[in-house]
A = this chain, B = another copy of it.
């Protein structure tokens, strides 16, 4: 199952004051399958150096730019150079390093949303196909074991044909205008030059959309969107509600907001079929409620023996020892790592290992973003995806 060494990761972005870069590192380290060997942590060479030093990298493996890193690492002996790049920059800086890395023989882990635009996403797919690189998109929330269980449960048909899907993602951290302050997270996420054509929908609406399609296995076919810029002075949507039509006549709705004052990170999904339903909430991530039409609801819990192999694999401790966001993130890294090790070893990856998001999920997300913005501008009710 394992190779005789840890996988070697390089990182693009993720300087000390960034949020998601540190998350990627912890997720990569947790299971002992991956070590960080190099990085181009910032577009500022100084910042990159400082970060590398704090992370105890040798100065020589801390680069001033992603180009330098990729091209230099390529020249290192095979037993030293990085195996893959983890790219954790703002959206407008995804495509460039991902393409360059793959074209130079490195595999890629990429933070979501996949690119700045749908066009870039489609082009990235071609790069992946051409280079044969292994590609992973960190849609964190599908890394939660109980979400994996929900997907497996729905696939068995136990709750019957799916009828209704509700997904919501309320946050409150952009309730006030924080772009003007020195708050890096807010600044780039609300800047069209770095985020793209959408703010809230691109940042967290894509997570909700990804989760819906992942859990149900159904594709959204048409949407009706109403986006808001709630906070005066903001340039991109910070809120939106979307009516959903799926294939097979299934309907639902999605909302995402970053101005729900007092909310933290309250992603929630509910799916109802002919015989029952499921409900999961990220802030109580180790529980999956399974509801039945004629029987008491059941409380499925992470780490228990009655779960599917996909869910069981996503938990490291016995039931009642809560695991959370970092472990969900680590599940994506670990599945990517196991799959990559299998490829290196020339063996088959288990189905459970292949359960991580890739370019198709990325393209669906960018399509969602573009269509949500189009629908919002339209007077027509429905916009096809």
Of B2, B30, B306, the contact of A296 (CB 8 Å cutoff) = B306
Bound Cα distance A226, B375 (Å): 15
- Indicate whether A272 sits within 8 Å of B260 (C-beta atoms), given known contacts A30-B26, A172-B293, A381-B380: yes
**A293 and B262 form a contact (CB under 8 A):** yes
Copies in the complex: 4
**B277 and A320 form a contact (CB under 8 A):** no
Interface residues of A (CB under 8 A from B): 2, 4-6, 19, 22-23, 25-26, 29-32, 36, 53-56, 159-160, 163-164, 166, 168, 170-173, 175-176, 224, 226, 228, 230, 239, 241, 243, 245, 251-253, 255, 257, 259-266, 270, 272-277, 282-286, 290-301, 303-306, 316-327, 378-382
Smallest Cβ distance from A282 to chain B, in angstroms? 7
**B26 and A316 form a contact (CB under 8 A):** yes
Residues of B within 8 A of A54 (CB): 2
Nearest residue (CB) in B for A304 is: B296
Of B22, B26, B265, the contact of A319 (CB 8 Å cutoff) = B265
10 A-B residue pairs with Cβ-Cβ distance under 8 Å, sorted by A, are A2-B56, A26-B32, A166-B255, A224-B224, A260-B277, A261-B273, A264-B301, A294-B306, A296-B298, A380-B381
Residues of B within 8 A of A295 (CB): 298, 306
**A251 and B226 form a contact (CB under 8 A):** yes
Of B5, B224, B285, B316, the contact of A381 (CB 8 Å cutoff) = B224
Smallest Cβ distance from A29 to chain B, in angstroms? 5
**A321 and B316 form a contact (CB under 8 A):** no
Bound Cα distance A133, B2 (Å): 36
Bound Cα distance A55, B303 (Å): 23
Q: Name the 3 nearest CB pairs between A and B, nearest first.
A: A262-B291, A264-B320, A265-B320
**B226 and A261 form a contact (CB under 8 A):** no
**A261 and B283 form a contact (CB under 8 A):** no
**B164 and A319 form a contact (CB under 8 A):** no
**B319 and A325 form a contact (CB under 8 A):** no
Residues of B within 8 A of A226 (CB): 224, 243, 245, 251, 381
Smallest Cβ distance from A177 to chain B, in angstroms? 11
Nearest residue (CB) in B for A260 is: B272
Bound Cα distance A171, B318 (Å): 11
Residues of B within 8 A of A299 (CB): 296-299
Residues of B within 8 A of A303 (CB): 264
- Quick one: which of A266, A293, A322 has the most chain B CB within 10 A? A322
Smallest Cβ distance from A63 to chain B, in angstroms? 19
- Quick one: which of A55, A159, A318, A381 has the most chain B CB within 10 A? A381
